[in-house]
Structure 1
Amino acid sequence: MAHISIPDTTIVMDDSLPPDKRKQIDFFICDVFDTFKDDSASMEHPVFSLSTKPDHRMLVYQYNGNSIKIKPSYTGLATIHDKDILLYLTSCLMSAKNNGEQISSRVRFTAYEYLVSTNKPINGKSYLQLKEGLERLSGTRIETDIKTSGKEIQSEFGLIDSWHIIKEGKDGRMVAVEVKLSEWFYNSILGNAVLSIDKDYFSLRKPTERRLYELARKHCGNQVAWKISIDKLKNKIGSNSPLTKLKFNIKKIAETNHLPEYNISLEDDVVFFSRKELPKESNVPEQLPKHISKAEIEKHARPGESYEQVAERLKKIRAKL
């Protein structure tokens, strides 16, 4: 079901300061949106734990000149399921940004809308998992030199800087959540370093399946196919399981063919990913709208827009002018 993001801005005064020292803080209000987005950096690199149990390992990765050191807190590393929170916030922010709205790294959202959007049951366990996910996202520390939005930030930070839950009623029902994204992660949004992902991603329950889809979307993208050796794929996934188990899982996925958008197969220790359908963006219309050139369309295209959508948007802008 398609939705449209309706951002808003709330002004909150810091009452703990004297009147002349109080600062206004802008909050971006998450609502609903039309397309799910994922940031390219964490799709490429194994930032999130695939363990379903508390993971207290310190992870160190070196790949293509980039280094990542991921340090857990006492609650463990942030997991691939915790990442759903960031996917939801990224999707809301990108939808508003693409619509020309003002956004902020400080975001408010309702727990209910988050659970519904990410295909989770509405019950006490899901609300508890949301809180635990926020704890792990804030507690997990990352030291990296990965570039986002053309900027190289070499420092240690959390995936989110802070979080705050607002509750009301004797039952402690969660009303709203406030999150401050880290500068590193927010730069991905400002620099459009994101990719659209299929909503059925949230139906994938196994961590390895989610990671395989992310890698297929990042590397195969709109190409017809992408292949990689099983050894390199294991490193990209960030799996701590034996190689034989990964091979078994890939063969099972190939049999069921349930990954969104992509087929997967394994042959002679080489894993092949291919698109199930050609992307709509590849269907360039034979006749573009009058006075709208192909070069203009490619210059002004927003992430996820088809040629037809860009051309129609530009026509409307010209009509208004």
Structure 2
Amino acid sequence: MQLLDIRNLTIELDTPHGRHVVLERFSLKMAEGEIHGLVGESGSGKSLLAKAVLGITDRRTHVRADRLNWNGHNMLNMSGAERRALMAEEIAMIFQEPASCLDPSARIGTQLLEAMPIPKEVHWWQRRRRRQQLAIRLLHKVGVKEHKSLMRAFPWELTDGEAHKVVLAMALAHKPKLIIADEPTTGLESSAQAKVFRLLDKMNKLGNVAILMISHDLESVANWSHRLTVLYCGHIMESGRSKQILKQPMHPYTEALQQSALSAGPGSQRKKDLPALRGAVPPLQHLPVGCRLGPRCPYAQRECVKTPSIRSQGGHAFRCHFPLHTETRSK
């Protein structure tokens, strides 16, 4: 069953230099139980997309789309109360640096109880106990062994890994159909990152929860997701099945992200320079004409001053005049 259906979503942002397009004509479809990776450098529009879906953008942000549907319902026509109800019951989000989303002045137990749904089938004097029992079960589900000490602690007393588990438990409380995870492993050690991925994978397999994983790490997300979309400067560069993109990327930007991934294998050359694109991501007020990657692309040609359209081959979409592994490239 299709849950999320986005067609030609455009996001504009008011800045001191005027109004600029942050994300242009973005399209995405997600089915129940699907894991979709959204990858790109900082400033590509990934986090703003997540906020637009949830309806938590500020006054500087302007969103328009041909279609922005959730489970067949148009979210653009929903009121603020309806969007909040949707977030509370069907869509959950894990923000970057989860510890910063917790109230530093309140104990974890108090905040967990507030996030638990109110049981309606029991008497009012039993509800607090039921919510507490649910909070403890969810903590155990996400890998917390000593729940008593954690619930007595304040957010600033938690490790990054513990904060992630608390936020994951809150996200699971209402049994969401979709979890949007925005860089959920940022700042974590490799072992803690692996635990977060395992927890999300467990939710997906046992609860059939769809997951939109937002990250800058193409390799780890692609190995874990079903489908993948690569963003750069607000444009979709490439989209398709994750295994297909990893095996044969069609866009130079995807290839650069793949080559720049650090390898910790025994055969890796630790002192070898990491392959990287020249230059940096341009600011919103100075986006290049034509292909957004043009000034940084090692394969750029005269034709790249024109904006490339999205082409598709067997469900593998890409935006490039001279895609890799094609006859056009070999000329």
Identify the TM-score tier after normalising by the shorter chain. Answer: under 0.3
TM-score of the aligned structures, taking structure 1 as reference length: 0.25
Report 1 or 2 for greater relative contact order, CA contacts < 8 Å, sequence distance ≥ 6. Answer: 2
